[in-house]
Structure 1
């Protein structure tokens, strides 16, 4: 990711943060719509899970300009996700739901450049997380 992409992600997330509760609901609704099998990995009461999602996203987005600072936490998160039943093939589905949610939440502010920046951010982080949790061979697939 280049500095311009990092700024686009951070600025656009700043527009989503005020509606974080709604955005989290939209995200999980979309995720469970496109991948109903993953719903079993989550608690029945999603309130705390939605808060965790938005808190984690905020930490990651704010840390993009210093990736080395957030990678240890991303590694730990990736390894925890394995114990929940997450598999490498879930990462693209989650990414798709995230991008879809951002597009809906940002409306006209979701430009091709913003989409490309978020796609790069997610690809960077998910690739790293897959590598940490499953090994570098899985991340390359």
Structure 2
């Protein structure tokens, strides 16, 4: 990621943060709509899960400038997701759902440059997480 992309991700996330509860609800509603098979992996009461999502996104977004500092936590998160039933093919669905949610939340502030920056950020992190959880061969697929 370029420094400009990092700034775009961080600045756009700062605009979503005030509506984080609503954004998390929109995200999970959309995820369960496009990938209903993942719903059993989640608790019936999504309150804490929504908070965890936004807290994790905040840590990642704030750490993009020093990516090596957040990679150990990303690795641990990826390995925990295996135990929850996550598969490598879930990552693209989650990524597209995240981008869709950000587009809805940001409205006119969702520009092609912001979209490209978020795509790069998610791609970098998800490739790393898949590699950590399932091995390098899975990440390359």
TM-score category of the 2 structures, normalised to the smaller one: over 0.9
Give the 5 Å matches for 1:12-31: 12-31=12-31
Distance 1:111 1:68 in 2: 28
1:41 Cα shift? 0.2
1:20 is displaced (CA, Å) by 0.1
Structure 1 unmatched runs, 5+: none
For structure 2, the 5+ residue unaligned runs are none
TM-score w.r.t. length of structure 2: 1.00
| Dislocated runs of 4+, deviation >6 Å | none
Query: Partners in 1 of 2:36 and 2:49 — Cα distance?
Result: 17
Deviation at 1:35, TM superposition (A): 0.1
- In the other structure, the counterpart of 2:129 is 129
Q: Alpha-carbon deviations, 1:54-112, whole Å to 9, x = none?
A: 00000000000000000000000000000000000000000010000000000000000
Matched positions, count: 141
**Corresponding residue of 1:73:** 73
Alignment of 1:1-141 (within 5 A): 1-141=1-141
SS at match of 2:125: helix
Query: Which TM-score applies when normalising by structure 1?
Result: 1.00
